[in-house]
Structure 1
Amino acid sequence: MADVAPDWLAAAHQAMCPGGPRAAHESDVPLSGVIEARRFEAHPSMRDDGMVAWWLVDDTDHQLAREALHMERERTAFLAKASSTLLSSLNLARCMDVTAQLAAENLADAALAIAPTRGRRLPVVTCLRGGIPVSTQAAVDPDEVPGLGEALRGFPPVPSRWIDPATAPAWMIPEDFGPIGAMVITPLPGHGVPAGALVMLRKEGSAAFTEEEEVFARLFAARSGAAMSAARLYAEQTAITEVLMRELLPPALHQISGVDFAGSYRPSADHERVGGDFYDVHRATVEGEPSLVTLGDVCGKGLEAAVLTGKIRNTLHALLPLADDHQRMLTLLNTALLNSHHTRFATLVLASAARRGNEVQVRLTSAGHPNPLIIRADGTVQTADTRGTLVGVLPDVRARTAVVTLAPGESCILYTDGITEAKGGPLGDTLFGEERLQRALAGCAGMPAEGIVEHIQMLASQWLGSRRHDDMAVLAISAPRTHHLSAVNGHTRGRFTA
């Protein structure tokens, strides 16, 4: 048997002979082996005369199908893992790192993920098998590499057999990699525009890329390109949002023309930065003239309310030449809102504040907004006598203006109803209310403007706990304490007056 049959079959026959281990007869798993590049299953059959008849069944096609199925399962699992890993981040640099690393570990000996050019530089991430990705900026022309320029422009890939690995420039060859034996360049397709290109390298002496491997590389590249494109779109949208958000955020306040201003804003949701409450302080074009203060509340909250907030703020900024005439500004703002496509309305307080000696004179006009509160030096809290109709609903806006004078250390507080309507307390269903707010302000007599707004926001937050709430805004206008210098016995000493 050993002279006429392959070794594997001869060994199986020997096991069937008397005195052998009879493993082949006792096993339910058929023996198998290769005969002239074909794979056969061997099934023994014992005859009555003691001889063994071997039935050989050609299993080549079945074996190839099983191997192809196993390979397809492995590749499907790899693509699923790659998609999950790539889509777990919306950071472009991270997506490029993952693309290069996965390709190097599973498809080639080294891989390069290349993004479209930024100016004259090409963002490149290089990774060796078993290594970590390395990012560089290559000042090169991609069209000098056959197939790379086309891939970056989204054209179909050039077959690897058409690319001479010897033409690869030095910047594409990782350090200590050695000569390149095979190279594949495939595009990374994005959402409407190319996301980049993937370059895979194999060392000299390694097997060349088969057509099937190139097709699989394109499947992987499609997933990588989608992730990179999503990351780039997210980065662009984030940048645009950041620019727009800066225009919608309330400004940082400080002292202007001898008047102290401070403001604090808390949106209705902790994950949001803007909402329906707003405030602004506009410095007068002429020193000594009143600065215009605006604080308002747009119906609703979130981004939609913030859009109308931005429109109101821009409209009021355009109306600054009419800052002395509050009624006129409110009328024009009301007309602008009625003529817009928005169906929301707003409440508003206008305040013109100017330093007059040691005091600050404030003209206040409310349009449907909670009345401003005045903190006197002795702790008394007064309500400004101003009221009016809200803007954006009726054809006419009627408002009454009040004038208050702040002595040094006294403050005028503007706030939105998010403060007084904050629902919380021991049982969680009690409004913070104006009476509680006035008691809190009475304890703020003599405090600087920044301290007052922080104190009110802190009390309202404690009252709320973790409950839902509306946007909350507070703004303080304060007359600063004055500091005079006088000479006594040839020495200078300071004296504060309130």
Structure 2
Amino acid sequence: MTASTPAIGTAPAPAPALLHAVLEAASEAMLLCTTADDVVVLANAAARRLMPGAHPGRQAGTPLPESADSFHAEHEGRQLYGMRRDLGDGHYAWFLQDHTAERERTAALEVERSRTAFLAEAGRRLSASLHVRRCVRTTVELASAHLADAAVVVLPAHRRQSTWTRLLPGLAVEEGTLREPKLAEVPGLAEALGGFPPIPSRWLDPSQAPEWLVPAGFGPVGALLVVPLPGNAEPAGALILIRRGPDSGFSREDEVLARVFAARAGAAISAAVLYREQVDTTAVLQAGLLPPELPEPDGFELAGSYQAARDTVRIGGDFYDVFGPAGSSTDTVIALGDVCGTGPEAAVLTGKIRQTLRALRLVEAGPEAMLKVLNEALLQSGRPPRFVTMVLGSVNRIDHGRVRIELASGGHPAPLVLRSDGTVEEVPTSGTLIGVLPHTVVRPATVELAPGELCLLYSDGLTEARGGPAATEQYGEARLRQALATCGGMPGAAALERIRQLVSDWVRGGQSDDIAMLAVRAPDRTPLSLRGGGAPTPSPYVVAARRGDRRPRNRS
């Protein structure tokens, strides 16, 4: 081995130029500084990009701290993170990283999370109600809290007048009305209510906002955004967002978020409007199908009671009706029936049957003839087969306070008569179902009521109500007879209320069918003024019957 040959296991030291080239090529920013006076000895290309002022021979300045081993700070629009390492021999190094992009991604993620949380809250609150005013108030509350300083919702004009709801900072929700010509004063509002796409905020001049839109105490309007509230086939309204201050504005992201929110708010308001229309329509239809207000005929008393199977639907398949004298006839026609089924479908057929009976009454047809004509009408209606059971009666006052009732039945439970001695009799009338056979069979019967006696017409929902100890036993005709026997001397409405209460106690809150009852009572022979002394006081049950109420009113 010659003297010039390197020893085995050793390598030549790299040249300073090679070390400098390695540092320049490194992707991580590095600064080499002296420990004594913090002068930069070496700064690679990555460090010079992050800190343009870091040149060899200059002191390490901002944002490098003098004593800390690390830092996290903003420098010339960049988020820098650095770590210090002591190298010995009077030198130390800073290793720098650019976290700007990471910070931007984190900030964007936080913004997206915030918007997602806002939309989730909006969806939850807007779907919590089907009340129009509540949905509109929730819309302005959410919009003013998350999207703008103030929010206004304007609903479409109805009879040339619109309603508006507004929420301003520090104030409660305000509501009012606005004439249709005023809508054109707000830039973009007429277009939004017409269903056109929203106009970008930068195209709307906030100085054109009318005085009625925001009060003077709000301050100068700096930015305006009008967004349509999409509805069901037509706009549900428009949302006006207002930001105050000369430097305020809506970014593109803000406008996108406003449109997404407006779509959810519009769907909620549209659903609430549709629900209100359906409720109003249902109320009108129910009003025409509910039991009628009973007349006050001379010589006898009428009382009715009706209870639907479901509390949510006030109408059903059981019904009763009363038709006063018509033409040359002086009698009063009473009817009580039970349509197959329950709910709205049965109620619709009930209404048609009542109208048919009313028309037959005008031609002075008797109970037996009315049932036969009704049977033919149902068979020829063309609808899916639905039958009805019914009792019809013609009521007349005769001499000495007595009342005669001619009854005809079509497959319905026979009426019961409460005599003055407390006994209960069944009227011997029967017949086939109405709407099933081409030729119906009716066996009429006539009953006379002495003063104080009562005839009860009822639907089978009364006797078939299940309850008792096992909640499965039917109330039955025997219990009905016993209950009716205890009603001697009572007014008709009081007797019906007592029976209804006994059946309700039997059911104990369980499910039951529709129940309809109609009572005809001959008046007591002794005048009221002679029984109690002084002026007669009408019973609360009699008052309830005259009003046609389902239940008597408590006079207390």
| 1:197 to partner: Cα distance | 0.4
Partner of 2:177: 137
Rounded to whole Å, the distance in 2 between the matches of 1:343 and 1:288 is 34
Q: After superposition, what is the alpha-carbon deviation per residue over 1:72-131, rounded to whole angstroms, capped at 9, x for unaligned?
A: 111011011011111111111111111111111111111101101122322010101343
Rounded to whole Å, the distance in 2 between the matches of 1:493 and 1:199 is 67
| 1:237 to partner: Cα distance | 0.7
Partner of 1:475: 518
Rounded to whole Å, the distance in 2 between the matches of 1:259 and 1:153 is 62
Q: 1:51 to 1:207 in 2, by over 3 A?
A: farther
Partner of 2:407: 364
Partner of 1:111: 151
| 1:4 to partner: Cα distance | 5.6
Is 1:239 aligned to residue 293 of structure 2?
no
Q: 1:417 to 1:140 in 2, by over 3 A?
A: closer
Contact 2:329–2:364 under 8 Å retained in 1: no
Q: After superposition, what is the alpha-carbon deviation per residue over 1:376-405, rounded to whole angstroms, capped at 9, x for unaligned?
A: 111121111100001111111110111111
Partner of 2:19: none
Rounded to whole Å, the distance in 1 between the matches of 2:160 and 2:528 is 63
Amino acid in structure 2 at the alignment position of 1:238: V
Q: 2:509 aligns with which of 459, 466, 469?
A: 466
Contact 1:293–1:351 under 8 Å retained in 2: yes
Q: Greater shift after overlay, 268-277 or 322-331?
A: 322-331
Contact 1:267–1:471 under 8 Å retained in 2: yes
Partner of 1:14: 67
| 1:486 to partner: Cα distance | 12
Amino acid in structure 2 at the alignment position of 1:195: A
Rounded to whole Å, the distance in 1 between the matches of 2:471 and 2:498 is 21
Q: 1:57 to 1:284 in 2, by over 3 A?
A: same
1:54-453 pair list within 5 angstroms: 54-141=94-181, 142-174=183-215, 176-286=217-327, 289-339=330-380, 340-357=382-399, 358-453=401-496
Amino acid in structure 1 at the alignment position of 2:353: I
Alignment partner of 2:319: what SS? strand
Contact 1:417–1:472 under 8 Å retained in 2: yes
Rounded to whole Å, the distance in 2 between the matches of 1:472 and 1:459 is 13
Amino acid in structure 1 at the alignment position of 2:342: K
Alignment partner of 1:172: what SS? coil
Rounded to whole Å, the distance in 2 between the matches of 1:485 and 1:255 is 17
Alignment partner of 2:386: what SS? coil
Amino acid in structure 1 at the alignment position of 2:338: D
Alignment partner of 1:95: what SS? helix
Amino acid in structure 2 at the alignment position of 1:105: A
How many residues end up aligned between the 2 structures?
475
Contact 1:274–1:302 under 8 Å retained in 2: yes
Rounded to whole Å, the distance in 2 between the matches of 1:485 and 1:398 is 43
Contact 2:239–2:262 under 8 Å retained in 1: yes
Contact 2:449–2:522 under 8 Å retained in 1: yes
Amino acid in structure 1 at the alignment position of 2:64: A
Rounded to whole Å, the distance in 1 between the matches of 2:180 and 2:528 is 68
Partner of 1:51: 91
Partner of 1:41: 81
Partner of 1:27: none
Q: 1:392 to 1:44 in 2, by over 3 A?
A: farther
Partner of 1:20: none
| 1:350 to partner: Cα distance | 0.4
| 1:371 to partner: Cα distance | 0.2
Rounded to whole Å, the distance in 1 between the matches of 2:316 and 2:98 is 74
Contact 2:315–2:347 under 8 Å retained in 1: yes
Rounded to whole Å, the distance in 2 between the matches of 1:317 and 1:175 is 64
Q: 1:238 to 1:171 in 2, by over 3 A?
A: same
Q: 1:242 to 1:423 in 2, by over 3 A?
A: same
Q: Greater shift after overlay, 357-366 or 335-344?
A: 335-344
Contact 2:327–2:364 under 8 Å retained in 1: no
Alignment partner of 2:302: what SS? strand
C-alpha RMSD of matched pairs (Å): 2.3
Q: 1:226 to 1:5 in 2, by over 3 A?
A: farther
Alignment partner of 1:334: what SS? helix
Rounded to whole Å, the distance in 2 between the matches of 1:293 and 1:240 is 29
- If you compute each CA radius of gyration, which structure gives the higher value, 1 or 2? 2
| 1:33 to partner: Cα distance | 2.2
Amino acid in structure 2 at the alignment position of 1:84: R
Amino acid in structure 1 at the alignment position of 2:276: A
Rounded to whole Å, the distance in 1 between the matches of 2:474 and 2:83 is 88
Amino acid in structure 1 at the alignment position of 2:135: C
Q: After superposition, what is the alpha-carbon deviation per residue over 1:209-242, rounded to whole angstroms, capped at 9, x for unaligned?
A: 1121111111111111111100110111111111
Amino acid in structure 1 at the alignment position of 2:429: T
Rounded to whole Å, the distance in 1 between the matches of 2:355 and 2:246 is 68
Q: Greater shift after overlay, 247-256 or 130-139?
A: 247-256
Q: After superposition, what is the alpha-carbon deviation per residue over 1:254-305, rounded to whole angstroms, capped at 9, x for unaligned?
A: 4224331111111122332111111111112358711111101112222222
Taking structure 1 as the reference length, what is the TM-score of the superposition?
A: 0.90
Amino acid in structure 2 at the alignment position of 1:15: A
Contact 1:381–1:441 under 8 Å retained in 2: yes
Alignment partner of 2:197: what SS? coil
Q: Greater shift after overlay, 319-328 or 227-236?
A: 319-328
